[in-house]
Amino acid sequence: MKAYDQRGFVFYTNTGSRKGRDIRENKSVALLFHWKSLKRQVRITGAAEQVDEEEADIYFASRSRGSQAGAWASKQSDHLQSRYSLEESIREFEKNFADKAIPRPPFWTGYRVVPREIEFWEEEDFRLHNRILYSLEGSVWSKSLLYP
């Protein structure tokens, strides 16, 4: 997660990856943050919307050149013949963009998950965990408890 505000929670990815293709078909998604050692989890469900081009460009520009070239070179989640072919492709993009700013690839952007539900989970003994659910009804968040 790279950003959050009142509108939602933003992550970036390759739009051709499995999750990118899945979101194109169905924008209902969940984000899951599980901290085992802290015995806590937060699950957010809602709708994924692409961030606008400007927001994605600004974030992409903040990444290191290595990460920028890597974004161009990676066909995220496709089968890779060898590590060498990926490294070769990165070197090629670095050469092509030498002395220039690396633009954001057209297949790489951010998604904002606009939340409908946020569940806070706290581990308790005997599997009797605390589960606190916030749900959006219209423009009002309501709070309830769930059985563990």
Ligand X SMILES: Cc1cc2nc3c(=O)[nH]c(=O)nc-3n(C[C@H](O)[C@H](O)[C@H](O)COP(=O)(O)O)c2cc1C
- How near is the Cβ of 22 to ligand X at its closest, in Å? 7
Give yes or no: 7 in active site: no
* Residues within window 66-85 making contact with ligand X, judged by CB under 6 A: 76-77
Angle, CA 6 vertex, CA 11 and CA 48 arms, to 5°: 40
Does position 4 interact with ligand X (CB under 6 A)? The reply is no
Only one of the segments 17-25, 86-94, 103-111, 122-130 lies at the binding site for ligand X (rule: CB under 6 A); that segment is: 17-25
Candidates 15-23, 58-66, 102-110, 127-135: pick the segment binding ligand X (CB under 6 A): 15-23
E-strand ranges in the chain read: 3-5, 8-14, 28-35, 40-50, 108-122, 130-137, 140-146
Q: Which two tokens stand for residue 109?
A: 């952007």
135, 144 contact by CB (below 8 A): yes
- Out of 18, 34, 39, 91, the only residue in the binding site for ligand X (CB under 6 A) is 18
Minimum CB separation of residue 76 from ligand X in Å reads 6
| By CB under 6 A, residue 13 contacts ligand X | yes
CA distance 3 to 5: 7
To ligand X, the closest distance from the beta carbon of 140 in angstroms equals 32
Least Å distance, CB 73 to ligand X, is 14
Q: Are 115 and 9 in contact (CB under 8 A)?
A: yes
Centroid of chain to Cα 44: 12
List, by residue number, the catalytic residues: 127
Q: List contacts with ligand X (CB under 6 A).
A: 11-13, 17-19, 76-77
